[in-house]
């Protein structure tokens, strides 16, 4: 791996290598041992044009645990905020840093950064995809279910960046994947085509109960993502009923996991009762951002 820009770029072998290394690193961290793999003397530039809790803290802590230095770069503080091009910024950073993580709006900015910096680039989130979160999700499923074969994953809600990356990641790992969204909020056409290439292992519907039937893990996300706050009321009406509650879990398999990338709007996409009943799984998922990203950092940046 040179960079992690999207889930689609990964082969199944690369995906499982990331998960195996993340498992190894997590075990070392839990045993209070220094990671056997390290990035000593290396600097990761972390560009944030979108606010963050888990992404910033997990990358910053992860880079420190690997022996490197995380450098926080706010979009408001960089010349990007005053009109400097991504191309020029990338060529400067290529002479200072050893790698870049970026959390931004446009996927094209991530691609351009990779093209002109000459550095490993890690996509911390764009409006198109969220690969780091999905790697953490898959690590959590692996831990709780022991693997992926024969499992069904389901996503309920907006066909957003999380849906795009989950669809690709879950199918690549070997699960079947169903998604329920309103007609006007499907994943993008390209991602739907990826799903359809898996044949009957993939399905889309507007019916949340049809999607969740016999599921082993159910995902959801907020109805209005960052940058969509102005659409909140429109989306609230469009997604009415697209909620993980006890009635929905009743049609899933016994022991079905619930996952949420956080922050959660309890009472909208998930009920308070379901969230708290599955809080251990959800916060394992949040913790696994740290371990999955450490694996990605090492694979992308080590010499």
pLDDT one-digit tens code per residue, 155-192: 999 999 999 999 999 999 999 999 999 999 999 999 99
Is 9 one of the annotated active-site residues of the chain? no
Confidence check: pLDDT of 18 > 90? yes
Q: Is 213 exposed, middle or buried (0-12, 13-18, 19+ CB in 10 A)?
A: middle
Is 256 one of the annotated active-site residues of the chain? no
Is 56 one of the annotated active-site residues of the chain? no
- 261, 268, 291, 293: which one is catalytic? 261
Domain 131-286 -> CATH class: alpha beta
The Cα angle at residue 111 between residues 174 and 142, in degrees rounded to 5: 25
Confidence check: pLDDT of 300 > 80? yes
pLDDT one-digit tens code per residue, 30-70: 998 888 899 999 999 999 999 899 999 999 999 999 999 99
- 98, 109, 137, 221: which one is catalytic? 221
CA neighbours closer than 13 Å in the CB half-sphere of residue 12: 7
Confidence check: pLDDT of 238 > 70? yes
Rounded to the nearest integer, the mean pLDDT of the chain is 96
What percent of the chain stands above pLDDT 90? 91
Is 144 one of the annotated active-site residues of the chain? no
- Structure tokens of 267? 């009472």
Q: How confident is the model at residue 229 (pLDDT cuts 50, 70, 90)?
A: confident
Is 82 one of the annotated active-site residues of the chain? no
Please give the span between the terminal C-alpha atoms of the chain, in angstroms, as a whole number. Answer: 11
Better-scored residue on pLDDT, 225 or 243:
243
Answer whether 12-129+289-301 and 131-286 agree in fold: yes
Confidence check: pLDDT of 81 > 80? no
What average pLDDT does range 266-289 have in this prediction? 98
Task: Supply the pLDDT for residue 225.
Answer: 81
- 65, 133, 259, 293: which one is catalytic? 133
pLDDT one-digit tens code per residue, 200-227: 999 999 999 999 999 999 999 999 887 7
- 54, 103, 235, 278: which one is catalytic? 103
Q: What is the b/e burial string over 245-259, where b = at least 16 CB atoms within 10 angstroms of the residue's CB?
A: eeebbeebeeebbbb
Is 137 one of the annotated active-site residues of the chain? no
Q: According to DSSP H, which parts of the chain are helical?
A: 12-30, 54-65, 86-93, 107-117, 131-145, 161-173, 189-196, 208-212, 232-238, 246-249, 272-277, 279-301
**Distance of alpha carbon 220 from alpha carbon 267, whole angstroms:** 13
- 54, 130, 260, 291: which one is catalytic? 130
**Domain chopping of the chain, boundaries:** 12-129+289-301, 131-286
CATH no. for 12-129+289-301: 3.40.50.1370
- 54, 235, 260, 289: which one is catalytic? 289
- Structure tokens of 47? 């560009």
SS3 281: helix
The whole model's pTM is what? Answer: 0.97
């Amino acid at each position: 791996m040179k960079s992690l820009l999207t889930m689609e770029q990964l082969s199944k072998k690369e995906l499982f290598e990331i998960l195996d290394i993340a498992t190894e690193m997590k075990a070392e961290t839990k045993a209070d041992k220094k990671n056997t793999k390290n990035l000593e003397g290396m600097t990761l530039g972390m560009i944030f044009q979108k606010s963050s809790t888990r992404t910033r803290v997990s990358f910053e802590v992860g880079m420190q645990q690997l022996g490197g230095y995380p450098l926080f770069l706010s979009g408001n503080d960089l010349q990007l905020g005053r009109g400097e091009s991504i191309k020029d910024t990338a060529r400067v950073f290529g002479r200072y840093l050893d790698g870049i993580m970026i959390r931004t709006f446009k996927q094209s900015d991530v691609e351009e950064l990779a093209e002109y910096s000459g550095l490993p680039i890690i996509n911390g989130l764009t409006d198109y995809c969220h690969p780091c979160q999905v790697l953490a999700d898959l690590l959590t499923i692996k831990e709780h279910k022991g693997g992926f074969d024969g499992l069904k994953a389901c996503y309920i809600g907006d066909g957003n960046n999380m849906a795009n990356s989950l669809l690709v990641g879950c199918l690549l790992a070997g699960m079947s994947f169903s998604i329920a969204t309103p007609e006007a909020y499907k994943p993008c056409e390209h991602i739907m085509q990826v799903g359809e290439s898996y044949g009957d292992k993939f399905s889309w519907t507007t019916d949340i109960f049809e999607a969740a039937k016999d599921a082993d893990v159910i995902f959801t996300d907020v109805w209005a993502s960052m940058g969509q706050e102005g659409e909140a009321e429109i989306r609230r009406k469009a997604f009415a009923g697209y909620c993980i509650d006890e009635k929905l879990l009743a049609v899933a398999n016994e022991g079905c996991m619930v996952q949420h990338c956080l922050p959660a709007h309890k009472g909208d996409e998930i009920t308070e009762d379901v969230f708290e009943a599955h809080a251990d799984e959800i916060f394992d998922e949040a913790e696994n951002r740290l371990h999955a990203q450490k694996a990605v950092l090492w694979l992308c940046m080590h010499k």
